Structure 1
């Protein structure tokens, strides 16, 4: 426990219903319970998760300003960045990132005087570094990478405009991220990827796991949901949860499941989540003739009850930062199978010790691993023990220790 409480701000673009926002909410609540003052700082105060933020956590929105007001502070305060950005906005260099909220962020730092700003996603970390560089109040900055940036970067190559934006963002990241007081990622795999793409030494990026296991998760897992598939334990239920997006590769899982059915297995598949691939996945299910055995019920308010009632949870992703779904399923006592994709799946499953790993995109190998796990599931007590390594308490401990280290260093520098 640190000697004193700290003022901590979490900075995100918006606050929709997503894994990143869920993790941020857990961390904020955990730090408040430890006595710290915590703010949620948003570029825009929108998002389905806003009602979940307790009153003990103030929400600050960065009001839109003229971009020229940003230059009045950025150019004299940080000339190299200010003039680079101005050239880009005038079409004389790389495309700029809008500065409409930069001064609002500087104003927040100077009036609210946080000790630490923790930023993640999109341009938020870049704005945080610019603002910290010109703020009259010294604030420590932490940048969190929650995904595999190199894969997101490569995924834009087919879209010239999106790829140009990502190229410019990577250029800015290579300049600005080293200026952060701490760079962290949510898994060793994500940390190694970030260090490599930024051309930094591996030890320049730390690892801090997400908070996943918590008391309310187990309480929610025990809740009864009135659904015939959940209440019929005679047919094995297979579940997956995640955004319906190409990188989540639910189409591979559908092919693997169809193979199980073709082999005479009696099972059902539920794909929890929503996203742009819904229509494509629905057509695929119809083409395979398995409509009666597969459901896409959309985003689930309580996915843990589904996991607790399932015989198997499958993660078919092409890449993952740290897939909470795997940990949540193990916490609910549900055996797991996952692709050995870039990111955190191999770390979570300890090289296959806690669940079978299969090559990315290999539906046959995935079907075989699913069948083998249904026949010989990992003991529940071992799943619970592994999930405990990703508890809320351990994660808050790690963040609290890192925040205290940064604040102590900043205090020493100002003496």
Structure 2
């Protein structure tokens, strides 16, 4: 089978990592996989044997913003046409992330039965949460038009429900397929040498972004009574990181909060942590929760809109879900810290890369 993945870019993020994992998994299953990036940015190592192309906009015209979506759609269609002329028609085409979807939806010659839009996040939370009135109505209408009558893959049941109920989308076909994980590769990476800290610590892995709610995390940590250090692994805009540093200082915990920056391989840090905490307002899926459980690390998460509730309920860890406030999160952190749960690794096989890839490949008509 010939498969094409399209994405806005690969700057580093959960959805981008999912796309690369899918590419690698499908390639290992013997399929031909192409990956088209709409920006020349890639902070990940590309899987071997993947046909990777950058289809970038090069216009410098003063009116380029007005014509951007249609112009980039034409460039993408031309790149697909050239690729198919060289290697044959694609059997499945997957568009990933909303920025990509806006362009792909403008393409006029992609077969509807082969094209699937992969929704990785809670779109209403991300794009409508801060809008009101006419502004919200117009944005909702624009977004709904992109997905209306299209084939949709949602990474969690909550994402699927959000699209249908909050954005009023009626898909042509729809499927819920959780994110894939190469279980053995994660365990191998987790076993790599790292500089051990003799003191116990807990960890948060994620970019510094308002959705991730580092502020809630720090307030909960300060309130929890846990004296072990808190490691923050991730990067972001400098002013956001400075805001969190200032908050740590204000809360009197600056000496216990470690800003570890971006980790190309975070798994040793996750494996040796006593607990991983997710404090987000919303998560399309919540990759880091599955990754921590694979590494044998207990987790606590907010019961936020998206995948965390689904992940932890299926794993039999629903009591590790906190309300969307620092008091509840602090209580759950203290509980899991004092009494770590038993992790059922058998349950995690539902996320195995081969099993998930087969679900994607079965979408072919």
Q: Is the 8 A contact 1:109 1:139 kept in 2?
A: no
Q: Is the 8 A contact 1:257 1:367 kept in 2?
A: yes
Q: Deviations over 1:318-351 (max 9, x none)?
A: 0000000100011111111110000011100117
Which aligned segments of 4 or more residues in structure 1 are displaced greater than 6 angstroms?
65-68
Corresponding position of 2:115: 141
Aligned partners of 1:190 and 1:138: how far apart in 2? 22
- Note the 1:276-355 alignment, pairs <5 A: 276=237, 277-350=240-313, 353-355=316-318
2:148 aligns with 178
Matched, 1:98 2:69: yes
Distance 1:100 1:168, change over 3 A: farther
Tell me the CA shift for residue 250 of structure 1: 1.3
- CA drift of 1:374 comes to 1.3
Match of 1:29 in 2: 24
| Structure-to-structure mapping, 1:6-21, within 5 angstroms | 6-21=1-16
SS at match of 2:258: strand
When residues 237 and 104 of structure 1 are mapped into structure 2, their CA distance, relative to the original with a 3 A threshold, is same
* 8 A Cα contact 2:70 2:106, kept in partner: no
Please tell me whether the aligned partners of residues 213 and 387 of structure 1 are also in contact (alpha carbons under 8 angstroms). Answer: no
Instruction: State the shift of 1:167 in Å.
Output: 6.3
Aligned to 1:247: 211
Contact 1:238 1:314 in 2 (8 A): yes
Is 1:392 matched with 2:315? no
Stretches of structure 2 that go unaligned for 5 or more consecutive residues are none
Deviation at 1:156, TM superposition (A): 4.5
Q: Which residue of 2 aligns with 1:271?
A: 232
Sort the Cα spacing of 1:168 and 1:115 in 2 relative to 1 into closer, same or farther, 3 A: farther
Say whether 1:53 aligns with 2:46.
Answer: yes
Q: Secondary structure at the match of 2:358?
A: helix
Residue of structure 1 equivalent to 2:95: 119
Q: Greater CA deviation, 184-193 or 106-115?
A: 106-115
* TM-score, scaled relative to structure 1: 0.79
How many Å apart are 1:96 and its aligned residue?
6.8
Matched, 1:153 2:127: yes
Contact 2:21 2:182 in 1 (8 A): no
Moved more, 333-342 or 191-200: 191-200
Deviates more, 1:241-250 or 1:209-218: 209-218
| C-alpha distance 67-10 of structure 1, shift in aligned 2 (>3 A) | farther
CA–CA separation in structure 1 for the residues paired with 2:227 and 2:47: 44
TM-score, length-normalised on structure 2?
0.89
Aligned Cα RMSD in Å?
2.8
Bigger CA drift: 54-63 or 252-261?
Answer: 54-63
Tell me how far 1:306 sits from its aligned partner: 1.2
Distance in 2, matches of 1:352 and 1:114, equals: 37
Alignment pair present for 1:258 and 2:222: yes
Q: Which moved more, 1:10-19 or 1:199-208?
A: 199-208
2:197 matched residue in structure 1: 231
Max Rg structure:
1
Give unmatched runs, 5+ long, in structure 1.
Answer: 1-5, 69-88, 407-415
- 1:352–1:365 Cα change, 3 Å: farther
Shift of 1:401: 1.3
